[in-house]
Amino acid sequence: MTDERVRERIDMLYRSDSRRVLATLIRLLGDFDRAEEALHDAFAAALDGWPRDGIPANPRAWLVSTGRFKAVDRLRRSARFDAAVEEIARHIESIVPAASDPPSDGADDVDDDRLRLIFTCCHPALNPDARVALTLREVCGLETERVAKAFLTSAPTVAQRIVRAKNKIRDAKIPYQVPSRAELSDRLATVLHVVYLVFNEGYSASAGDAVTRPDLSAEAIRLGRLLVDLLPEPEAIGLLALMLLHDARRPARTSADGELILLEAQDRSLWQRTQIDEGLTLVERALSSRAIGPYALQAAIAAVHAEARDAASTDWRQIVGLYDVLLRLEPSAIIELNRAAAVAMHEGPASGLALVDAILDRGDLTDYHLAHSARADLLRRLGRASEALTAYERAVLLTTQEPERRFLERRIDELRRT
């Protein structure tokens, strides 16, 4: 094999396996930073040695044991070498056999390490923003700059969050382990929430020039698939289904010039059929379990939309029913608002408006732009133009996303002209 080909192979291996190797190195070395250095050293050693010696039979096992060796090496050469450091070095050496005798690279061990990494990055004792940043950085391998760009913050802010989280993991001794059965459902909920946040930011950017950030949604779906592979719990399956069904609408959600198109006006022939089919199969799987959770229910709602030819022929009654169940499981004003929109489609705008007004009168969602734009839309459909105008203006003031603002302003212009 030419040097060029070997390098390409190493590049590919980095993309496909570096996170797996890292997850195992964190377990073996007991420290995130040490593991990242070791990962880097191992790939550098591969670039140096493989063109000459050939690619080992099990490259991943080679990278793990080389990384471990390099870490021990670094420790022994470190300036503050003392008895304590020697103890760490000995401990690391004692866990794995020598590199000439590569460790068994059982798929189960590797999978466990990946789950350990996910659960550690999403530990509830870490700051919620840090969980998202750490997961994208460590589990997905996104550079700090990309994480920062995705969440419209500065790279130093993200870097600082990640450093703080890693320090807490080390200093407070957050264990590198998959939670026990008893803790699993609570802990998995935290993990799924992180994936959901990443997806939502990708599906509907909270601010900025574009409606969506496809790269973030793709990362979230990748994480979702990984979780379903490693831990096929009903809610993990439900979340993956939800993401796939929503993401399938992406090509229809914006016009060629980047303008927002609402669900009812979307050209459904643009929806991605293969993703929908996969999503529908997963929804059925999630709903067939005894424990139906909020993600499976939201996926079921998305599935009803996916199966309808257009907004008019959608089974709105079923959607309202699913929202009712969802609200019992997870009372939330935003879900109530979505339910009100479905009621408006099923029973007419007046019924929907009464529900939206009730939410706003309670003092909930008064600063949420979508509550005001939903209200404005219902008023418009009821022919109450001047009230609709006021509500649209309120929504414009509250929105931070450019395409959304332009959409609302187009509606305001239309109302002013009539």
Number of residues that bind other proteins (CB under 8 A): 21
User: Rounded to 5 degrees, what angle do the CA atoms 29, 33, 38 make?
Assistant: 60
Interaction of residue 79 with other proteins, rule CB under 8 A? no
Minimum CB distance to other proteins smaller for 173 or for 417: 173
Minimum CB distance to other proteins smaller for 188 or for 301: 188
CB of residue 372 to other proteins, shortest distance in Å: 32
3-state secondary structure (DSSP) of residue 222: helix
3-state secondary structure (DSSP) of residue 338: helix
Interaction of residue 174 with other proteins, rule CB under 8 A? yes
Candidates 6, 72, 122, 126: give the one binding other proteins (CB under 8 A).
126
CB of residue 169 to other proteins, shortest distance in Å: 9
Candidates 78, 104, 127, 154: give the one binding other proteins (CB under 8 A).
127
Minimum CB distance to other proteins smaller for 179 or for 279: 179
**C-alpha to C-alpha distance for 348 and 354, rounded to whole angstroms:** 11
The count of other CB atoms within 10 Å of the CB of residue 93 is 15
Per-residue binding letters, 183-222, with other proteins (x by CB under 8 A): x--x------------------------------------
**C-alpha to C-alpha distance for 15 and 7, rounded to whole angstroms:** 13
**C-alpha to C-alpha distance for 273 and 237, rounded to whole angstroms:** 19
Query: Looking at beta carbons, which pairs linking 265-274 to residues 24 or more positions away fall under 8 Å?
Result: 268/309, 268/310, 271/306, 272/247, 272/248, 273/248
Stretch that binds other proteins, among 33-41, 124-132, 355-363, 402-410 (CB under 8 A): 124-132
In order of 95, 341, 344, the CA distances from 320 in angstroms are 56, 9, 10
H or E element in which residue 313 lies? none
Interaction of residue 156 with other proteins, rule CB under 8 A? no
Interaction of residue 124 with other proteins, rule CB under 8 A? yes
Candidates 13, 23, 130, 178: give the one binding other proteins (CB under 8 A).
130
6 CB-near residues (< 8 Å, 6+ apart): 50, 51, 55
Stretch that binds other proteins, among 165-173, 358-366, 372-380, 410-418 (CB under 8 A): 165-173
Minimum CB distance to other proteins smaller for 130 or for 242: 130
Stretch that binds other proteins, among 167-175, 225-233, 266-274, 380-388 (CB under 8 A): 167-175
Minimum CB distance to other proteins smaller for 102 or for 179: 179
User: Rounded to 5 degrees, what angle do the CA atoms 214, 197, 338 make?
Assistant: 95
**C-alpha to C-alpha distance for 376 and 391, rounded to whole angstroms:** 5
Nearest to 304 by CA among 338, 280, 336: 280
Candidates 84, 107, 256, 312: give the one binding other proteins (CB under 8 A).
84
Candidates 125, 152, 207, 291: give the one binding other proteins (CB under 8 A).
125
Interaction of residue 172 with other proteins, rule CB under 8 A? yes
Candidates 1, 12, 90, 128: give the one binding other proteins (CB under 8 A).
128
240 CB-near residues (< 8 Å, 6+ apart): 221, 224, 225, 227, 228, 282
Give the distance, in angstroms, between the CA of residue 183 and the centroid of all CA atoms in the same chain: 22
Interaction of residue 173 with other proteins, rule CB under 8 A? yes
Interaction of residue 44 with other proteins, rule CB under 8 A? no
Stretch that binds other proteins, among 8-16, 55-63, 163-171, 394-402 (CB under 8 A): 163-171
Interaction of residue 181 with other proteins, rule CB under 8 A? no
3-state secondary structure (DSSP) of residue 125: coil
227 CB-near residues (< 8 Å, 6+ apart): 118, 191, 192, 195, 236, 239, 240
Interaction of residue 171 with other proteins, rule CB under 8 A? yes
Binding site for other proteins (CB under 8 A): 82-84, 124-128, 130, 164, 167-168, 171-175, 177, 179, 183, 186
